[in-house]
């Protein structure tokens, strides 16, 4: 049966895997046959994810409790993945933080530094660590989550929007550098989705009006197989959903 799964024998590393879109990605990749390396700060959340993957697939995930702002730990993770698996077929980088919703002039330096570290610097460290692993695979795929806010600045979204814009620039630069390799990198915009971060940004919004993160799972599995990468336009979940004939609630 495993041979019929589209990602059978693939190794997939997912950040932010304990909740939201990262968790949905990890479950979808596991159901498609991949062995998931799940990365998140919370051990309990990772264990709950592992339980769900075991129930759905009969197989366990590799769990790595890790704060991505710890650059040395990210490097060590890359070495550990190489030692155990020798390669990385799929990278899904979903970890991010919203930061304070406040005017730019009111942002405290410690809060600015935290958002910059989680959203931007951690992305650079992850790219630096994972590229050799992706090169060791046959057709490595990197999927980095972004946001429409990167190109549409709005009051009180300063740290988040600025770092997401920088992440887009960084990933596009990286993808251009990978043009002559078999690695493909893509930016994925999930849009409005029923996540904790969305609830923090819009506390009065009815979550029942938003797509569940599980709905983006099939798209992530598709991108993990596709020979598609930047500098093409970002992949937008709502557009993909509409193209499949489903109403786009995002």
Which DSSP category does 104 fall into? G
Rounded Cα distance, 142 and 87, in Å: 13
Pairing label, strands 184-189, 235-236: parallel
Known catalytic residue: 79? Answer: no
How big is the chain by its Cα radius of gyration, in Å?
Answer: 17
Rounded Cα distance, 176 and 23, in Å: 29
Sheet holding 11-15, edge to edge: 62-65, 35-40, 11-15, 90-93, 141-145, 184-189, 235-236
Three-class SS of 66-133: CCCCCHHHHHHHHHHHHHHHCCCCEEEECCCCCCCCCCHHHCCHHHHHHHHHHHHHHHHHHHHHHHHH
Report the chain's terminal Cα–Cα distance, integer Å.
34
Question: How crowded is residue 66: how many other Cβ atoms within 10 Å of its Cβ?
Answer: 17
> Residue 204's Cα: distance from chain center in Å?
26
- Positions marked catalytic: 160
């Amino acid at each position: 049966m495993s041979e019929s799964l589209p990602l059978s024998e693939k190794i997939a590393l997912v950040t932010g895997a304990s909740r939201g879109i990262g968790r949905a990605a990890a479950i979808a990749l596991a159901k498609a046959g991949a062995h998931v390396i799940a990365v998140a700060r919370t051990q309990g959340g990772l264990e709950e994810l592992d339980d769900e993957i075991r129930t759905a697939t009969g197989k366990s995930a590799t769990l790595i409790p890790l704060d991505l702002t710890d650059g040395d730990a990210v490097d060590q993770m890359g070495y550990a993945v190489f030692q155990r698996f020798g390669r990385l077929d799929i990278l899904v980088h979903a970890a991010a933080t919203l930061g304070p919703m406040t005017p730019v002039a009111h942002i405290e330096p410690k809060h600015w530094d935290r958002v910059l570290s989680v959203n931007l610097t951690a992305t650079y460290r992850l790219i630096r660590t994972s590229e050799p692993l992706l090169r060791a695979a046959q057709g490595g795929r990197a999927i980095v989550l972004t946001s429409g806010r990167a190109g549409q600045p709005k009051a009180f979204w300063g740290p988040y929007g600025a770092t997401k814009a920088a992440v887009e620039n960084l990933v596009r630069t990286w993808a251009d550098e990978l043009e002559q390799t078999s690695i493909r990198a893509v930016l994925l915009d999930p849009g409005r989705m029923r996540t904790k971060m969305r609830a923090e940004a819009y506390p009065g919004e009815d979550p029942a009006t938003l797509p569940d993160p599980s709905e983006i799972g099939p798209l992530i599995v598709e991108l993990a197989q596709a020979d598609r990468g930047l500098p093409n336009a970002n992949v937008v979940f709502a557009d993909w959903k509409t193209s499949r004939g489903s109403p786009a609630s995002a």
